[in-house]
Amino acid sequence: MKKYLIMLMIAMMVFPLSAKSPKQIAAEVKTTIIENLEASNMQNMEQTLKTIHTQSMAYMQTKMQISKIYDNWKLKIDLLNFEFIGMTGDYAVARFRQKTVKLSGPAFNNNISDALAVFKQENGKWKFWSQCQLAVEFIK
């Protein structure tokens, strides 16, 4: 999976294809991330899933995972950093860091995670396609 993401990033730098400027696409992708985090903070399953591409291989797995999370914990997730890497064809890639802190529920490791995410448009809106965790730092 990491090889695929690296090859995709290289291709994006060599073959940028889009009618929109990279700045516009970056803003749209960042909006998707923010909408995802806000929906997660509200534990709104429907809104959270609206930020994930329905044809993604991760869609059903994510749906099951967030259901378990929402049933057990109340979490506060904040976006710490966002970096737009680029795009090619139907895909855009961004790197972001988020802080996740438990507000209530059983034992949980508060953390700061660093992720690389691939996005694909669905009905004119950028949605999560796949994601790769680069690092997780546990915090108090």
pLDDT tens figures, 59-118: 999 999 999 999 999 999 999 999 999 998 899 999 999 999 999 999 999 999 999 999
Q: Which two tokens stand for residue 112?
A: 């700061």
Give the rounded percent of residues in the chain with a pLDDT score beyond 70.
87
Mean pLDDT of all residues in 122-130: 97
Report CA-CA distances (Å) from 122 to 50, 53, 93: 10, 6, 15
The confidence band for 9, taking pLDDT boundaries of 50, 70 and 90, is low
- Residue 73 has which token pair? 């914990």
Q: Which residues face 81 on adjacent strands?
A: 97
* Total-model pTM: 0.86
> If we measure between CA atoms, which residue out of 30, 6, 35 comes closest to residue 97?
30
127 φ, ψ (degrees, to nearest 5): -135, 155
What pLDDT is attached to residue 18?
53
Q: Structural domains in the chain? A: 2-138 (3.10.450.50)
